[in-house]
Amino acid sequence: MNWSDRAPALLVLADGEVFEGEAVGAVPPGGLTTGELVFNTVLSGYQEVITDPSYAGQVIAFTYPHLGNYGITPLDDEATRPWCRGVVTRELTARPSNWRATGSLEDFLVARGVPGISGVDTRRLTRHIRDDGSMGCAFGTADEATLRAAATAEPGTDGQDLVSAVTVSEPVTRGSGPHRLVAYDFGVKETMLRCLGDLATLTVVPAGFSAADTLALGPDGVFLSNGPGDPAALPSQAAIVSDLLGRVPIFGICLGHQLLATALGARTFKLPFGHHGGNHPVRRLDTGRVEITSQNHSYAVAADSLPAGVEVTHVNLNDGVVEGIAVPSAFAFSVQYHPEAGPGPHDARYLFAAFERLIETSGLTGRTA
Protein backbone atom coordinates (compact mmCIF):
# COMPACT_ATOMS: atom_id res chain seq x y z
CA MET A 1 0.00 0.00 0.00
CA ASN A 2 1.21 3.46 -0.81
CA TRP A 3 1.58 5.49 2.37
CA SER A 4 -0.23 8.41 0.71
CA ASP A 5 -3.30 6.19 0.34
CA ARG A 6 -3.76 5.79 4.07
CA ALA A 7 -6.98 7.16 5.51
CA PRO A 8 -6.78 9.62 8.41
CA ALA A 9 -7.79 8.03 11.71
CA LEU A 10 -8.26 9.00 15.33
CA LEU A 11 -7.52 7.28 18.62
CA VAL A 12 -9.87 8.44 21.38
CA LEU A 13 -9.45 7.44 25.03
CA ALA A 14 -12.26 6.98 27.53
CA ASP A 15 -11.19 10.15 29.33
CA GLY A 16 -11.61 12.18 26.12
CA GLU A 17 -7.97 12.47 25.08
CA VAL A 18 -7.58 12.39 21.27
CA PHE A 19 -4.60 11.31 19.13
CA GLU A 20 -4.31 11.65 15.36
CA GLY A 21 -2.92 9.01 13.02
CA GLU A 22 -3.53 6.91 9.93
CA ALA A 23 -5.49 3.69 9.54
CA VAL A 24 -3.36 0.57 8.99
CA GLY A 25 -4.02 -3.15 9.03
CA ALA A 26 -7.46 -4.66 8.67
CA VAL A 27 -10.53 -2.50 8.13
CA PRO A 28 -12.85 -2.95 11.14
CA PRO A 29 -16.67 -3.00 10.88
CA GLY A 30 -18.08 0.50 11.09
CA GLY A 31 -14.62 2.02 10.89
CA LEU A 32 -13.84 1.60 14.59
CA THR A 33 -12.21 -0.77 17.07
CA THR A 34 -12.50 -0.72 20.84
CA GLY A 35 -10.54 -2.30 23.68
CA GLU A 36 -8.60 -1.69 26.86
CA LEU A 37 -5.48 0.28 25.92
CA VAL A 38 -2.12 -0.82 27.35
CA PHE A 39 1.46 -0.06 26.31
CA ASN A 40 4.30 -2.50 25.74
CA THR A 41 7.97 -1.45 25.92
CA VAL A 42 9.66 -4.29 24.00
CA LEU A 43 12.26 -3.31 21.39
CA SER A 44 11.64 -6.48 19.36
CA GLY A 45 9.22 -9.37 19.41
CA TYR A 46 6.18 -7.49 18.15
CA GLN A 47 4.82 -10.60 16.44
CA GLU A 48 5.05 -12.62 19.65
CA VAL A 49 3.27 -9.82 21.48
CA ILE A 50 0.49 -9.45 18.92
CA THR A 51 -0.17 -13.21 18.85
CA ASP A 52 -0.02 -13.68 22.65
CA PRO A 53 -3.55 -14.73 23.77
CA SER A 54 -3.02 -12.81 27.03
CA TYR A 55 -3.87 -9.64 25.07
CA ALA A 56 -7.46 -10.70 24.39
CA GLY A 57 -9.70 -7.68 24.89
CA GLN A 58 -6.82 -5.21 24.71
CA VAL A 59 -5.34 -2.72 22.24
CA ILE A 60 -1.53 -2.69 22.28
CA ALA A 61 0.39 0.57 21.99
CA PHE A 62 4.06 -0.08 21.23
CA THR A 63 6.46 2.44 22.75
CA TYR A 64 9.27 1.52 20.34
CA PRO A 65 8.85 3.99 17.45
CA HIS A 66 9.44 1.63 14.48
CA LEU A 67 7.28 -1.45 14.16
CA GLY A 68 7.71 -4.12 11.48
CA ASN A 69 11.41 -3.56 10.70
CA TYR A 70 12.20 -7.26 10.34
CA GLY A 71 8.85 -8.42 8.98
CA ILE A 72 7.05 -11.52 10.17
CA THR A 73 7.46 -15.30 10.01
CA PRO A 74 4.99 -18.05 11.00
CA LEU A 75 7.77 -19.47 13.20
CA ASP A 76 7.23 -16.59 15.66
CA ASP A 77 3.48 -17.00 16.15
CA GLU A 78 2.50 -17.68 19.77
CA ALA A 79 -1.03 -18.79 18.83
CA THR A 80 -3.00 -19.80 15.77
CA ARG A 81 -4.39 -16.25 15.55
CA PRO A 82 -4.01 -12.90 17.28
CA TRP A 83 -6.50 -12.21 20.07
CA CYS A 84 -5.68 -8.55 20.67
CA ARG A 85 -8.23 -5.98 19.49
CA GLY A 86 -5.74 -3.74 17.69
CA VAL A 87 -2.28 -2.17 17.43
CA VAL A 88 -1.07 1.41 17.91
CA THR A 89 2.35 2.53 16.67
CA ARG A 90 4.39 5.61 15.83
CA GLU A 91 5.59 4.31 12.48
CA LEU A 92 4.87 1.10 10.60
CA THR A 93 7.84 0.13 8.45
CA ALA A 94 6.96 -0.05 4.76
CA ARG A 95 9.72 -2.44 3.69
CA PRO A 96 10.99 -5.07 6.17
CA SER A 97 14.54 -6.41 5.97
CA ASN A 98 15.39 -9.80 7.47
CA TRP A 99 16.36 -13.17 6.06
CA ARG A 100 13.64 -14.90 8.08
CA ALA A 101 10.83 -12.64 6.88
CA THR A 102 8.04 -14.17 4.83
CA GLY A 103 6.03 -10.96 4.64
CA SER A 104 5.44 -7.54 6.12
CA LEU A 105 3.71 -6.72 9.38
CA GLU A 106 1.16 -4.71 7.41
CA ASP A 107 0.23 -7.78 5.35
CA PHE A 108 0.08 -9.85 8.52
CA LEU A 109 -2.34 -7.45 10.21
CA VAL A 110 -4.59 -7.40 7.16
CA ALA A 111 -4.54 -11.19 6.75
CA ARG A 112 -5.21 -11.84 10.44
CA GLY A 113 -7.95 -9.23 10.78
CA VAL A 114 -6.12 -6.94 13.20
CA PRO A 115 -6.86 -3.20 12.80
CA GLY A 116 -4.19 -0.64 13.59
CA ILE A 117 -3.41 3.04 13.73
CA SER A 118 0.01 4.47 12.87
CA GLY A 119 1.49 7.95 13.03
CA VAL A 120 0.44 8.34 16.68
CA ASP A 121 2.56 10.31 19.13
CA THR A 122 3.19 7.20 21.22
CA ARG A 123 5.49 9.04 23.61
CA ARG A 124 2.68 11.37 24.66
CA LEU A 125 0.25 8.45 24.68
CA THR A 126 2.48 6.32 26.92
CA ARG A 127 3.03 9.15 29.37
CA HIS A 128 -0.73 9.69 29.53
CA ILE A 129 -1.44 6.02 30.28
CA ARG A 130 1.43 5.93 32.79
CA ASP A 131 -0.09 8.87 34.67
CA ASP A 132 -3.79 8.05 34.33
CA GLY A 133 -3.76 4.27 33.97
CA SER A 134 -4.96 1.83 31.34
CA MET A 135 -8.40 2.66 30.04
CA GLY A 136 -10.93 1.97 27.33
CA CYS A 137 -10.27 3.36 23.88
CA ALA A 138 -11.66 3.44 20.37
CA PHE A 139 -9.81 4.10 17.13
CA GLY A 140 -10.47 4.13 13.42
CA THR A 141 -11.85 6.24 10.60
CA ALA A 142 -15.25 6.86 12.21
CA ASP A 143 -16.02 10.42 13.28
CA GLU A 144 -14.74 11.69 16.61
CA ALA A 145 -18.14 11.71 18.32
CA THR A 146 -18.74 8.06 17.42
CA LEU A 147 -15.27 7.07 18.61
CA ARG A 148 -15.70 9.01 21.84
CA ALA A 149 -18.99 7.25 22.63
CA ALA A 150 -17.47 3.86 21.85
CA ALA A 151 -14.43 4.53 24.04
CA THR A 152 -16.63 5.57 26.95
CA ALA A 153 -18.73 2.42 26.59
CA GLU A 154 -15.73 0.03 26.42
CA PRO A 155 -15.90 -2.15 29.59
CA GLY A 156 -12.22 -3.15 29.67
CA THR A 157 -11.06 -6.40 31.25
CA ASP A 158 -12.32 -5.94 34.83
CA GLY A 159 -14.56 -8.85 35.80
CA GLN A 160 -14.27 -10.36 32.34
CA ASP A 161 -13.76 -14.07 31.67
CA LEU A 162 -11.70 -13.88 28.48
CA VAL A 163 -10.14 -17.31 28.98
CA SER A 164 -13.15 -19.23 27.67
CA ALA A 165 -12.64 -17.65 24.24
CA VAL A 166 -8.95 -18.54 23.87
CA THR A 167 -8.68 -22.02 25.42
CA VAL A 168 -8.65 -25.25 23.44
CA SER A 169 -12.01 -26.99 23.03
CA GLU A 170 -10.67 -30.51 23.70
CA PRO A 171 -7.44 -32.13 24.93
CA VAL A 172 -4.43 -32.02 22.60
CA THR A 173 -1.18 -33.98 22.88
CA ARG A 174 2.15 -32.18 22.49
CA GLY A 175 5.84 -32.78 23.23
CA SER A 176 7.93 -35.93 23.57
CA GLY A 177 9.84 -35.62 26.86
CA PRO A 178 10.15 -38.47 29.37
CA HIS A 179 7.63 -37.15 31.91
CA ARG A 180 3.86 -36.81 31.62
CA LEU A 181 2.26 -33.42 32.19
CA VAL A 182 -1.19 -31.92 32.01
CA ALA A 183 -1.03 -28.31 30.80
CA TYR A 184 -4.08 -26.14 31.46
CA ASP A 185 -4.63 -23.85 28.50
CA PHE A 186 -5.82 -20.50 29.82
CA GLY A 187 -4.28 -18.87 26.72
CA VAL A 188 -1.00 -20.75 26.53
CA LYS A 189 1.84 -19.50 24.32
CA GLU A 190 3.50 -21.74 21.75
CA THR A 191 6.95 -21.09 23.25
CA MET A 192 5.74 -22.38 26.62
CA LEU A 193 4.59 -25.61 25.02
CA ARG A 194 7.95 -26.02 23.29
CA CYS A 195 9.83 -25.54 26.58
CA LEU A 196 7.58 -28.00 28.41
CA GLY A 197 7.66 -30.44 25.48
CA ASP A 198 11.39 -30.84 25.95
CA LEU A 199 10.85 -32.37 29.39
CA ALA A 200 7.48 -34.11 29.00
CA THR A 201 4.70 -35.43 26.84
CA LEU A 202 1.91 -32.92 27.34
CA THR A 203 -1.83 -33.25 27.40
CA VAL A 204 -3.04 -29.70 26.82
CA VAL A 205 -6.52 -29.42 28.30
CA PRO A 206 -9.33 -26.83 28.25
CA ALA A 207 -9.54 -24.29 31.06
CA GLY A 208 -12.56 -26.03 32.61
CA PHE A 209 -11.04 -29.54 32.65
CA SER A 210 -11.88 -31.00 36.06
CA ALA A 211 -9.30 -31.98 38.65
CA ALA A 212 -10.69 -35.52 38.65
CA ASP A 213 -10.25 -35.85 34.89
CA THR A 214 -6.71 -34.47 35.20
CA LEU A 215 -5.74 -36.93 37.94
CA ALA A 216 -7.29 -39.77 35.93
CA LEU A 217 -4.63 -39.11 33.28
CA GLY A 218 -1.93 -39.99 35.82
CA PRO A 219 0.26 -36.91 35.30
CA ASP A 220 3.67 -36.41 36.87
CA GLY A 221 2.88 -32.69 37.11
CA VAL A 222 0.39 -29.97 36.17
CA PHE A 223 1.19 -26.73 34.41
CA LEU A 224 -1.00 -23.61 34.69
CA SER A 225 -0.53 -21.31 31.71
CA ASN A 226 -0.72 -17.61 31.05
CA GLY A 227 -3.96 -16.09 29.81
CA PRO A 228 -6.06 -12.94 29.49
CA GLY A 229 -8.45 -11.05 31.69
CA ASP A 230 -9.27 -10.76 35.36
CA PRO A 231 -8.32 -13.76 37.56
CA ALA A 232 -11.14 -12.82 39.95
CA ALA A 233 -13.58 -13.71 37.14
CA LEU A 234 -12.36 -17.33 37.11
CA PRO A 235 -13.60 -18.92 40.36
CA SER A 236 -14.16 -22.33 38.75
CA GLN A 237 -10.56 -22.45 37.51
CA ALA A 238 -9.26 -21.47 40.95
CA ALA A 239 -11.40 -24.25 42.45
CA ILE A 240 -9.84 -26.78 40.05
CA VAL A 241 -6.35 -25.70 41.14
CA SER A 242 -7.42 -25.98 44.78
CA ASP A 243 -8.54 -29.57 44.17
CA LEU A 244 -5.15 -30.39 42.62
CA LEU A 245 -3.01 -28.85 45.37
CA GLY A 246 -0.96 -31.38 47.28
CA ARG A 247 -1.91 -34.20 44.92
CA VAL A 248 0.46 -33.45 42.03
CA PRO A 249 3.36 -31.01 41.49
CA ILE A 250 2.17 -27.67 40.05
CA PHE A 251 3.97 -24.92 38.12
CA GLY A 252 2.15 -21.74 37.10
CA ILE A 253 3.08 -18.78 34.91
CA CYS A 254 1.34 -15.36 34.77
CA LEU A 255 -2.42 -16.02 35.01
CA GLY A 256 -1.50 -19.48 36.27
CA HIS A 257 0.44 -17.77 39.08
CA GLN A 258 -2.58 -15.64 39.97
CA LEU A 259 -4.91 -18.66 39.95
CA LEU A 260 -2.55 -20.63 42.19
CA ALA A 261 -2.47 -17.72 44.64
CA THR A 262 -6.27 -17.44 44.48
CA ALA A 263 -6.64 -21.15 45.16
CA LEU A 264 -4.46 -20.68 48.24
CA GLY A 265 -6.78 -17.96 49.54
CA ALA A 266 -4.97 -14.84 48.34
CA ARG A 267 -6.58 -11.99 46.44
CA THR A 268 -5.58 -10.20 43.23
CA PHE A 269 -5.81 -6.57 42.18
CA LYS A 270 -5.45 -4.54 39.00
CA LEU A 271 -2.26 -2.59 38.42
CA PRO A 272 -2.58 1.02 37.21
CA PHE A 273 -1.06 0.32 33.78
CA GLY A 274 0.27 -3.22 34.14
CA HIS A 275 3.65 -4.71 33.37
CA HIS A 276 4.09 -5.16 29.62
CA GLY A 277 7.67 -5.28 28.37
CA GLY A 278 10.91 -7.17 28.09
CA ASN A 279 13.25 -5.68 30.69
CA HIS A 280 11.61 -5.80 34.12
CA PRO A 281 14.12 -6.42 36.95
CA VAL A 282 13.06 -9.14 39.39
CA ARG A 283 14.95 -10.19 42.51
CA ARG A 284 15.15 -13.88 43.35
CA LEU A 285 15.01 -13.76 47.13
CA ASP A 286 16.84 -17.00 47.99
CA THR A 287 19.99 -15.96 46.09
CA GLY A 288 19.62 -12.17 45.83
CA ARG A 289 20.23 -12.46 42.10
CA VAL A 290 18.46 -9.99 39.82
CA GLU A 291 16.82 -11.44 36.72
CA ILE A 292 15.81 -9.36 33.71
CA THR A 293 12.39 -10.64 32.73
CA SER A 294 9.69 -10.42 30.09
CA GLN A 295 6.27 -9.54 31.51
CA ASN A 296 2.71 -9.16 30.32
CA HIS A 297 0.02 -8.80 32.96
CA SER A 298 -2.49 -6.23 34.15
CA TYR A 299 -3.30 -7.94 37.45
CA ALA A 300 -1.12 -8.99 40.38
CA VAL A 301 -1.23 -10.91 43.67
CA ALA A 302 -1.66 -8.88 46.86
CA ALA A 303 1.32 -9.71 49.08
CA ASP A 304 -0.55 -9.04 52.33
CA SER A 305 -3.22 -11.59 51.43
CA LEU A 306 -0.92 -14.61 51.10
CA PRO A 307 -1.62 -17.14 53.86
CA ALA A 308 0.88 -18.84 56.14
CA GLY A 309 2.91 -21.52 54.43
CA VAL A 310 3.19 -19.59 51.18
CA GLU A 311 6.66 -18.20 50.46
CA VAL A 312 7.29 -15.14 48.30
CA THR A 313 10.22 -16.17 46.08
CA HIS A 314 10.57 -13.23 43.67
CA VAL A 315 9.71 -9.51 43.77
CA ASN A 316 9.63 -6.80 41.12
CA LEU A 317 12.30 -4.19 41.80
CA ASN A 318 10.32 -1.44 40.05
CA ASP A 319 7.27 -1.49 42.30
CA GLY A 320 7.59 -4.39 44.76
CA VAL A 321 4.91 -6.54 43.14
CA VAL A 322 4.97 -10.25 44.03
CA GLU A 323 6.64 -12.02 41.11
CA GLY A 324 6.84 -15.56 42.45
CA ILE A 325 5.49 -17.80 45.20
CA ALA A 326 6.16 -21.33 46.42
CA VAL A 327 4.20 -23.75 48.59
CA PRO A 328 6.72 -26.41 49.68
CA SER A 329 4.11 -28.46 51.53
CA ALA A 330 2.03 -28.78 48.35
CA PHE A 331 4.95 -29.06 45.88
CA ALA A 332 3.70 -26.02 43.96
CA PHE A 333 5.31 -22.81 42.71
CA SER A 334 4.59 -20.06 40.24
CA VAL A 335 5.93 -16.85 38.74
CA GLN A 336 4.21 -13.76 37.43
CA TYR A 337 6.68 -13.16 34.60
CA HIS A 338 7.49 -15.15 31.45
CA PRO A 339 10.57 -17.41 31.65
CA GLU A 340 9.92 -18.73 28.12
CA ALA A 341 10.15 -15.20 26.66
CA GLY A 342 10.74 -15.61 22.96
CA PRO A 343 12.32 -13.36 22.03
CA GLY A 344 13.40 -11.95 25.33
CA PRO A 345 15.80 -12.41 28.23
CA HIS A 346 16.51 -16.03 29.19
CA ASP A 347 17.56 -15.32 32.78
CA ALA A 348 14.60 -17.31 34.13
CA ARG A 349 14.69 -20.39 31.87
CA TYR A 350 16.00 -22.35 34.88
CA LEU A 351 12.42 -22.51 36.17
CA PHE A 352 11.52 -25.27 33.71
CA ALA A 353 14.43 -27.37 35.03
CA ALA A 354 13.24 -26.55 38.57
CA PHE A 355 9.82 -27.92 37.67
CA GLU A 356 11.40 -31.11 36.37
CA ARG A 357 13.37 -31.52 39.62
CA LEU A 358 10.19 -31.00 41.62
CA ILE A 359 8.46 -33.70 39.58
CA GLU A 360 11.31 -36.12 40.16
CA THR A 361 11.64 -35.52 43.92
CA SER A 362 8.08 -34.85 45.12
CA GLY A 363 6.94 -38.45 45.33
CA LEU A 364 3.49 -37.29 44.14
CA THR A 365 3.60 -38.80 40.66
CA GLY A 366 0.17 -39.78 39.43
CA ARG A 367 1.60 -42.21 36.90
CA THR A 368 -0.08 -45.60 37.03
CA ALA A 369 1.55 -47.25 34.02
Percent of the chain with pLDDT strictly greater than 90: 92
Catalytic residue among 254, 280, 291, 323: 254
For residue 4, pLDDT over 60 is answered with no
Average pLDDT over residues 129-137: 97
338 classed as catalytic? yes
**pLDDT of 342 over the 80 cut:** no
Find the mean pLDDT for residues 149-172.
97
Is 360's pLDDT higher than 70? yes
pLDDT at 365 over 80: no
Report all structural domains of the chain as residue ranges with CATH numbers, in order of start: 3-153 (3.50.30.20), 163-362 (3.40.50.880)
Check residue 204 and give its pLDDT.
98
Please say if the pLDDT value at position 308 is more than 90. yes
* Sheet strands (E) in 66-199: 66-67, 86-88, 91-92, 115-118, 135-140, 172-174, 179-184
Residues 223-242, mean pLDDT to the nearest whole number: 98
Q: Is 60 exceeded by the pLDDT of residue 367?
A: no
What is the reported pTM? Answer: 0.95
- Look at residue 68 and tell me whether its pLDDT is greater than 80: yes
What's the mean pLDDT when you consider all of the chain? 95
Give pLDDT, residue 138.
98
Q: Per-residue pLDDT for 70 more than 90?
A: yes
Catalytic residue flag (residue 170): no
Checking if the pLDDT of 339 tops 80, the result is yes
Residue 152's Cβ-count burial label (10 Å; 0-12, 13-18, 19+) is middle
Residue 209 CA from chain centroid, whole number: 21
What number of CA atoms fall less than 13 Å from residue 59's CA on the CB side? 32
Res. 293: pLDDT tops 90: yes
pLDDT of 74 reads 96
pLDDT at 369 > cutoff 50: no
φ/ψ of residue 207, rounded to 5: -60, -30
- pLDDT band at residue 5 under the 50/70/90 scheme: confident
Residue in 36, 78, 106, 340 annotated catalytic? 340
Q: What is the pLDDT of residues 98-124, one digit of tens each?
A: 999 999 999 999 999 999 999 999 999
Based on DSSP, count helices (H) and strands (E) in the chain, helices before strands: 10, 19
Give the pLDDT of residue 366.
Answer: 54
Give me the catalytic one of 179, 280, 297, 338.
338
CA-based torsion, 352, 60, 82, 262: positive or negative: positive
